[in-house]
Structure 1
Amino acid sequence: MKDSKITKKKSSKIDATKKLAEKIKQQALKNQQSTTTTTTTASTSSTTITPIEVNPDEELKFKSFSELKLVPELLESIQSMKFTKPTPIQSEAIPHALEGHDIIGLAQTGSGKTAAFAIPILQALWEAQSPYFALVLAPTRELAFQIKETFDALGSTMGLRSVCIVGGMDMMDQARDLMRKPHVIVATPGRIMDHLETTKGFKLKDLKYLVMDEADRLLDMDFGPALDRILKVIPTKRTTYLFSATMTNKIEKLQRASLHNPVRVAVSSKYQTADNLVQSMMLVHDGYKNTILIHLLSEYEGKLIIVFTRTVAHAQRTALLCRILGFNAVPLHGQLSQAQRLGSLNKFKSRSANILIATDVAARGLDIPSVDVVINYDIPTDSKAYIHRVGRTARAGRSGKSISLITQYDLEMYLRIESVLGKKLPKEDMPPKEVLDALHPNVDRATAEAIRQTKELHEKRGKRRNRDDADREER
């Protein structure tokens, strides 16, 4: 009898233990499901994108900047810059940006992207008036200076302080500029990272806005590690704008790492050229390429022309060739100092030199609305680079013309470009044979002289570099 009672008591304890274990198990499952749901929701909220495809032909979201609730000082600057009607990317992106959303803007160069992110930042800055308010990252020095010019013009009546921090300039001068506590910093990633690591007292812990312009090119140019380091030292609680010509896998990863619940605004999801651009090609013999170029420059005398070459040596030599033959030409390439590059650009913009001989450093980002003709002296190896090159003309509603010189060695690359364009380019008529024959001997002599001068220039640069290296070693 006693044993039976003990057995029942044990059985009762076991049942209670089992019930408790089951209860704990059920509670644990419930908590796990709750955590999973929360994590999923959080993950979804951080990566959810509201896609907005913008048809440039459709009615704009707002037709005049005066419809927006912008401060009068900003409106005054917009009007003085003659921004009468917003572009499609501005019309769709600015209202979302003014509401505080992160933005992914997909649009080609020349679409008005800079104003699309500058206007919301300046509107927010009017209320905050705090230093180190916004950081804009750009892939090239030229684009960085151009973005700064736009900010300066839009913020001219607001007391805006801005600075451009790029390579090729004195670090100490830049450090002094940063210590003056500018509101907006426009920079290339490598140089701003240098200052974050070495300039005492310079921090971006209170940064409110981050812009990555031409983000696809930032990543193509191997700025990825610098971007990662920048993202680690700036606040996670900020507003971020990412602008790019295309949405690549690298951009997707960057967006997931740095944007919170962004609105994606895409004006054009595929590569295309402007409708008002007349494109053509000319089949040329390699030995007559310079002669045909000089003939074309004579044909379009007085027009604003950009001639694109594939290499720095070609750009330098061709600029010298043009100058020897009496044309007002200036070079633009990566081996020039920053002062020389800006000097060439300013001469071209002011028309004191109407011909710019450039590598692909000028293919993207530069906003020179009145370029009449683009000549591809060398065909680019990348089809997308062709789109960007010819996009330097036919901007802001103007018409433009592009001519590509195709030799027997360029046919494969040319066919790839036609495939991307989805159409064949019409053939440009060759100049009459008698005209080329009369011109060729003079061009040949001038080419030989240009090659000699180019070689001399390289030797001088080499000696200067050696002297600089020796000086550094002595110090």
Structure 2
Amino acid sequence: MPELCSACATMGFTTPTPIQREAIPNALRDRDLIGLAQTGSGKTAAFSLPILQALWKNPSRFFACVLSPTRELAYQIAEQITSLGADIGVRCVVIVGGMSMMDQALALSKNPHIVIGTPGRLIDHLENTKGFSLKTLKYLVLDEADRLLDMDFGPAIEKLLKAIPRERHTYLFSATMTTKVEKLQKASLKNPYKVEIATKYSTVANLLQYYMFIPFKHKELYLAYLLSSGTHRSTILFTYTATTAQKLSLMLRHLGFRATCLYGTLSQPKRLAALEKFKSGERSLLVATDVASRGLDIPSVDLVVNYDVPQSSKDYIHRAGRTARAGRAGKCVTLVSQYDIEWYQRIEYALQKKLDAFPVESKTAVMALAGRVNEALKVAQLQLKEEAQDRKEGNDHSALRLSTRR
């Protein structure tokens, strides 16, 4: 239809990606879909366009529901669907944890066409929000299904499947076909058309992948060297824990990098603010846990750094997939200490390739940064300690006020 073609042109979608080329025609033939594709392959448009076309022909409230494993991905999907459906007046609502239930209930009462959300919060509303149901649902999308199931959303998905019509179209998209995903496919899809663009573990061809073998005690020095060694306009730095992410973000700011931080226990408004600063270019470095390994569709990211080696090959694939998107080139560098060799070898085995060593000018060039980096690290650790103390004193004051009231 002309309106959707115009929206695609406005968004720069001129040539369909392989999964779009396979999935969209079959979806338009009223087939259920199961799509296996690399991250960054254009899955969102692959399921959104057929839904919007059907919605235009038969508009109704709560027409479609998209399930996402993370809040960030839910907002990303909503943003793209809203842009694609702008000319046909599509109304979307995002239902995720960390935001006001009351505000979300109000948004649901306005009868949007499409609901995008995380399974747990969606079930909360189905069970507790008066007047809300999905009995008119025509389309269900399970995006990043492997992650949905890895995060133990299985029981919530089962509840949802019982609350929606059996007669519906279901699209299941996943980066990998696990045993859990296969069971979910059998339980929720009818005679699906299978689109398989990726092998179980693969990265796109235009992604350059490196490792940097380093002594653990100098990890921060090598990180600072790496980030200073090129003209990286936009970088995502992955850590294993929120504490490490906070520490490195503060350290790097003291070194002059425009860094912001994103991790799971951060409040949702702060998470969205950090993402917006990064996406807008106000911050060029995002220090994040794996909460950011899916859901970020920022084509301009040209470097991903694994400060902590991912403990599964699947996590590596998704981290690396934050760069080299939409046909652009990208680079991923993994810092490997003497304690990480086994994890790193598992990644190479899964990729079925040996990665190249990242070129380091000399150990002297790295050690020349020691004074500045160590000072910045001390300042960061002191700041974190002070913030933790402030939180403890605040909690103590709150507890004292409560006991006084009693």
* Shorter-chain TM band: over 0.9
In structure 1, C-alpha distance between the alignment counterparts of 2:358 and 2:66, rounded to whole Å? 42
Query: 2:366 matched to which residue of 1?
Result: 436
Q: CA deviation at 1:431?
A: 3.9
Query: 2:204 matched to which residue of 1?
Result: 274
Q: CA deviation at 1:463?
A: 5.4
In structure 2, C-alpha distance between the alignment counterparts of 1:339 and 1:430, rounded to whole Å? 39
Q: Secondary structure of 1:403's partner?
A: strand
Does the 8 Å contact 2:235/2:305 carry over to 1?
yes
Which aligned pairs between 1:200-239 and structure 2 lie closer than 5 A? Answer: 200-239=130-169
Q: CA deviation at 1:176?
A: 0.3
Q: Which amino acid aligns with 1:199?
A: T
Over residues 37-91 of structure 1, what are the superposed CA-to-partner deviations in whole Å (9 max), with x where a residue is unaligned?
Answer: xxxxxxxxxxxxxxxxxxxxxxxxxxxxxxxxxx221221111112101011111
* 1:364 corresponds to which of 290, 294, 305: 294
Q: Secondary structure of 1:77's partner?
A: helix
Q: 2:92 aligned with 1:143, yes or no? A: no
Query: 2:257 matched to which residue of 1?
Result: 327
Does the 8 Å contact 1:138/1:218 carry over to 2?
yes
Which aligned pairs between 1:156-195 and structure 2 lie closer than 5 A? Answer: 156-195=86-125
Q: 247-256 vs 90-99, which deviates more?
A: 247-256
TM-score (norm 1): 0.82
In structure 1, C-alpha distance between the alignment counterparts of 2:232 and 2:184, rounded to whole Å? 45
Q: CA deviation at 1:348?
A: 1.0
Q: 409-418 vs 452-461, which deviates more?
A: 452-461
Name the CA shift for 1:126/1:467 in 2 (closer, same or farther; >3 Å): farther
In structure 2, C-alpha distance between the alignment counterparts of 1:469 and 1:302, rounded to whole Å? 47
Q: Which amino acid aligns with 1:414?
A: Y
Query: 1:317 matched to which residue of 2?
Result: 247
TM-score (norm 2): 0.96
Does the 8 Å contact 1:110/1:365 carry over to 2?
no
Name the CA shift for 1:471/1:114 in 2 (closer, same or farther; >3 Å): farther
Name the CA shift for 1:434/1:270 in 2 (closer, same or farther; >3 Å): same
Does the 8 Å contact 1:310/1:378 carry over to 2?
yes
Q: Which amino acid aligns with 1:131?
A: R
Q: 2:270 aligned with 1:340, yes or no? A: yes
Count of residue pairs brought into register by the alignment: 405
In structure 1, C-alpha distance between the alignment counterparts of 2:229 and 2:290, rounded to whole Å? 24
Q: Secondary structure of 1:381's partner?
A: coil
Name the CA shift for 1:255/1:329 in 2 (closer, same or farther; >3 Å): same
Does the 8 Å contact 1:138/1:186 carry over to 2?
yes
Query: 1:395 matched to which residue of 2?
Result: 325
Q: Secondary structure of 1:230's partner?
A: helix
Name the CA shift for 1:468/1:302 in 2 (closer, same or farther; >3 Å): farther
Over residues 369-394 of structure 1, what are the superposed CA-to-partner deviations in whole Å (9 max), with x where a residue is unaligned?
Answer: 11111111110111111111111111
Over residues 240-284 of structure 1, what are the superposed CA-to-partner deviations in whole Å (9 max), with x where a residue is unaligned?
Answer: 111111111111111111111111111113211121111111111
Does the 8 Å contact 1:109/1:365 carry over to 2?
no
Over residues 162-214 of structure 1, what are the superposed CA-to-partner deviations in whole Å (9 max), with x where a residue is unaligned?
Answer: 01010000110000000010000000000010000000011111111100000
Query: 1:122 matched to which residue of 2?
Result: 52
Two-structure CA RMSD over aligned residues (Å): 1.8
In structure 1, C-alpha distance between the alignment counterparts of 2:14 and 2:123, rounded to whole Å? 38
Query: 1:44 matched to which residue of 2?
Result: none
In structure 1, C-alpha distance between the alignment counterparts of 2:30 and 2:368, rounded to whole Å? 65
Q: 2:275 aligned with 1:377, yes or no? A: no
Query: 1:45 matched to which residue of 2?
Result: none
Does the 8 Å contact 1:374/1:390 carry over to 2?
yes
Query: 1:17 matched to which residue of 2?
Result: none
Q: Secondary structure of 2:200's partner?
A: coil
In structure 1, C-alpha distance between the alignment counterparts of 2:401 and 2:65, rounded to whole Å? 35
Q: CA deviation at 1:227?
A: 0.4
In structure 2, C-alpha distance between the alignment counterparts of 1:471 and 1:91, rounded to whole Å? 62
Q: Secondary structure of 1:136's partner?
A: strand
In structure 1, C-alpha distance between the alignment counterparts of 2:235 and 2:46, rounded to whole Å? 28
Over residues 350-384 of structure 1, what are the superposed CA-to-partner deviations in whole Å (9 max), with x where a residue is unaligned?
Answer: 11110111111111231111111111111011111
Q: 342-351 vs 171-180, which deviates more?
A: 342-351
In structure 2, C-alpha distance between the alignment counterparts of 1:227 and 1:465, rounded to whole Å? 36
Query: 1:55 matched to which residue of 2?
Result: none
Identity over aligned pairs, percent: 56
Does the 8 Å contact 1:281/1:405 carry over to 2?
yes
Does the 8 Å contact 2:307/2:334 carry over to 1?
yes
Q: 2:27 aligned with 1:72, yes or no? A: no
Q: Which amino acid aligns with 2:372?
A: N
Structure 1 runs, 4 residues or longer, greater than 6 Å off: 465-475
Which aligned pairs between 1:297-316 and structure 2 lie closer than 5 A? Answer: 297-316=227-246
Name the CA shift for 1:468/1:190 in 2 (closer, same or farther; >3 Å): farther
Which protein, 1 or 2, shows the higher relative CO under an 8 Å CA cutoff with sep ≥ 6? Answer: 2
In structure 2, C-alpha distance between the alignment counterparts of 1:262 and 1:465, rounded to whole Å? 53
Q: 2:185 aligned with 1:255, yes or no? A: yes
Q: CA deviation at 1:306?
A: 0.9
Does the 8 Å contact 2:245/2:287 carry over to 1?
yes
